[in-house]
Structure formats: structure tokens, C-alpha cells
Structure 1
């Protein structure tokens, strides 16, 4: 008997599960860039809870296990800043990242009718060596709009698309 993956809104009760998954998922990024001090690996549980309270998060569950997550917030200028799209290593390459990205975009597009500020664009970033991330984002219509060198090993690539 197989289990299907379900996607739902994240809440404070999911925070500890998300943080553990985030720590697992960002190990490969830390290794890729030779930097284990990146913010996803040092973020506190309270900071993650604050992110969920200030914006919107989604989780994907396989049964009761959180296997993927994403969070985002809408700025006053209409930019939806998408962050920390994570998928458990054993669940990668099954379309979960794309489903979460689509879901977070749909949430903010639908919320625009009820909010004082509506979503005008979606924006996210990743490291320049994170080819899988870049491939996913480009396949979803995101285009590179900026780069920022953070050090000799890491350049952040910012991508956007219209809402």
C-alpha cells in the first residue's frame, strides 16, 4: 500500500519538523559551497516560527512525515519573496519542489484580491552552483535579474517572474 503526498498550509506546530528537514536539506548546499555557517543551518526555531507568522508556508507530507516545505512573504511593494524551498533528499526529482512552488504562487495570487497590497512579482534566490535549483526555477518561468557576490565561493543568483 502506497501513501500519497499531500500539501497543506504550514503552521507553528510544523515548525520543529520543518527546521529538522531544513537542516538535513541544506547540508548539500553547505558542502557545495564549503560553508556550514549559512543561515538555513543556523536559524533558530523561534526565527522560523516568526517567518511562518509573518508570511505563509506550505508543507508536503508523506503520511505524517513532513518531506518538503516552502515559505514566502509579500512585501509592501508587491514582491512575494519565496524562501527555503526544501525537499527531503530521498523525495527529490519527483516534482515536489515544483508543486510547492506552484502552490505558494497560487496562494499569493488568490490572496491579492483580499489584501491591501497584491502580488506583482515572485522573487527567489539560490547559489550560482546550485544547478538543480536553477533548472527548476527556470522551468517555472523565473528569469535571472541580479547576482551578488557574497565571497570567493558564493554568488547569489536572484530570479523573478511576474505574478
Structure 2
């Protein structure tokens, strides 16, 4: 590849690239469910900007290109909520999703005092379920999203804070 993928906090200038990447990445999910109105495909640029301002948002960069992204926030009970994890299709299968997931977990634990993590994925999204299970998540229930897709809810307890190195 020649360059290392660097994971860092997103800033306001990343919003448009994040939205474009999200749109590209979630096409396969939309196809899997036969639903092109899933939440990630109808999100607006303004709402991505708001998430960057209010939440923890990390990007993976290959040179100047944003090739991955993840968001995290905490609820009043201290649960870190992780979402919109996406990796450019040409870079999938190389551990980048796991690195982004660890970055979100570390940021939520260290900066937002999260004591557990929760995320969700579509019930047919087998590769996502495998990733989350390998990362220690367990299914705790399901729900139907506003877009009509059945989502599997997964959780895990936060470990003791560990230093996360946001580099190669």
C-alpha cells in the first residue's frame, strides 16, 4: 500500500467526506435488506456536522483520503453508544473496522467515562456480527429501526482504561 492508515478525531472539515464514505459503504447493507432508505443513506450533511460537534467521531485516513469512520456518544447512564462504523469497500478485511471500533471504545471510556458499550447492526449483517462478537460484544436483544430493519443490539462492559495509540 505504501502509506499507513492513521486514525484520528474528525473535525468539521471532514463532514462531507464522512457522509460520502458512509453513503458508499452502506449501499451493500441497503442491498442486503432491499431498503435504500436505511438511516445511513438518508442522513443529511448538517446532521453529520452536528454529530462531529457533539459526539466523538473518528476517521481513518490513507494519506488525505477518509477511508473509515465511526461515531460514539454516551447516554445518561454511562453507556457508550457506537454507530455508523464504516470502512471503504476496497480496504475491508484488513482489521481497519476493528481499529476504528477500539478507537471509539477508548475515546468513550477515557473522555466520556463510559462503563459499557452498546451498538447495533442489521440481523442479516453477518460480517458485522462476526466483527462485534470477536471484539467481545454479546447480543442483548433486538429492535426495529425507523427504517423497518430489524437490528440486533449488542453490548459489552468497558475494560479498565487503556492507552490507545491513534496511529498506524
TM-score range, shorter chain: over 0.9
Tell me whether 141-150 or 31-40 shows the greater mean CA deviation: 141-150
Identify which of 127, 130, 142 aligns with 2:137: 142
Distance 1:108 1:149, change over 3 A: closer
Q: Distance in 2 between matches of 1:2 and 1:85?
A: 24
Q: 2:69 aligned with 1:69, yes or no?
A: yes
Aligned length: 157
1:114-153 to structure 2, matched below 5 A, reads: 118-149=113-144
Give the deviation of 1:53 after TM superposition.
1.2
Tell me whether 48-57 or 12-21 shows the greater mean CA deviation: 48-57
Give the deviation of 1:52 after TM superposition.
1.3
Structure 2 unaligned segments of length 5 or more: list them: 159-168
Instruction: Give RMSD over aligned pairs.
Output: 1.4
Q: TM-score, normalised by structure 2?
A: 0.90
Give the deviation of 1:120 after TM superposition.
1.4
1:94-109 to structure 2, matched below 5 A, reads: 94-109=94-109
Question: Relative CO higher for 1 or 2, CA cutoff 8 Å, sep ≥ 6?
Answer: 2
Q: Distance in 1 between matches of 2:144 and 2:83?
A: 19
Q: TM-score, normalised by structure 1?
A: 0.92
Give the deviation of 1:149 after TM superposition.
3.9
Give the deviation of 1:154 after TM superposition.
3.1
Tell me which stretches of 4 or more aligned residues in structure 1 moved more than 3 Å: none
Partner-residue secondary structure (3-state), 1:67: strand
In the TM superposition, what whole-angstrom CA distance separates every residue of 1:24-67 from its partner, at most 9, and x where no partner exists? 00000000000001111011000111111111010000110000
Q: Distance in 1 between matches of 2:108 and 2:44?
A: 26
Structure 1 unaligned segments of length 5 or more: list them: 113-117
Q: 2:2 aligned with 1:2, yes or no?
A: yes
Q: 2:54 aligned with 1:54, yes or no?
A: yes
Q: Distance in 2 between matches of 1:64 and 1:38?
A: 28
